[in-house]
């Protein structure tokens, strides 16, 4: 654009920035979509992301609530077993 007229870029420059990281590792400099934490490119646009109840993400079930709780329970059992072994060895 040619001319010397002042541009009102102040509101856009003061807008909150997108919280995403670029491939380079730097922060995205685009303004976030109103009411969201990401810009339109990084998932702030309406309709972006997977639909609710998306079954495509459940290929193996590794990250379902039940599996996460089961892994947590196994970790706790292992921790208790190690503590018991240490207690028996030290007495």
Is position 90 within any domain?
A: yes
The whole-chain average pLDDT of the chain stands at 86
Q: 33 is in which domain, residue-wise? A: 14-48
User: What are 68's two structure tokens?
Assistant: 């996460």
User: What are 51's two structure tokens?
Assistant: 């639909």
What is the per-residue pLDDT across 10-37, written as a single tens digit (0 to 9) for each?
877 888 999 889 889 999 998 988 888 8
Do 66 and 40 share a domain, yes or no? no
Is position 9 within any domain?
A: no
Please check whether residue 49 is in contact with residue 63, taking contact to mean a CB–CB distance below 8 angstroms.
no
Task: Give me the number of domains the chain comprises.
Answer: 2
Q: Match 């089961």 to its residue by tokens.
A: 70
Do 64 and 40 share a domain, yes or no? no
Do 43 and 68 share a domain, yes or no? no
Check residue 73 and give its pLDDT: 98
Do 19 and 39 share a domain, yes or no? yes
Check residue 1 and give its pLDDT: 54
DSSP 35-74: TSSS-IIIIISTT-SPPTT-GGG-SS-TTSHHHHHHHHHH
pTM tops 0.85, yes or no: no
């Amino acid at each position: 654009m040619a001319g010397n007229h002042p541009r009102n870029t102040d509101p856009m420059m003061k807008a909150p920035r997108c919280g995403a990281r670029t491939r380079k590792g730097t922060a995205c400099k685009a303004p976030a979509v109103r009411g969201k934490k990401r810009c339109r490119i990084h998932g702030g646009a309406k309709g972006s992301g997977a639909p609710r109840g998306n079954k495509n993400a459940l290929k193996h079930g590794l990250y379902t609530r039940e599996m996460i709780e089961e892994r947590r329970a196994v970790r706790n059992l292992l921790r208790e077993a190690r503590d018991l072994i240490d207690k028996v060895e030290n007495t």
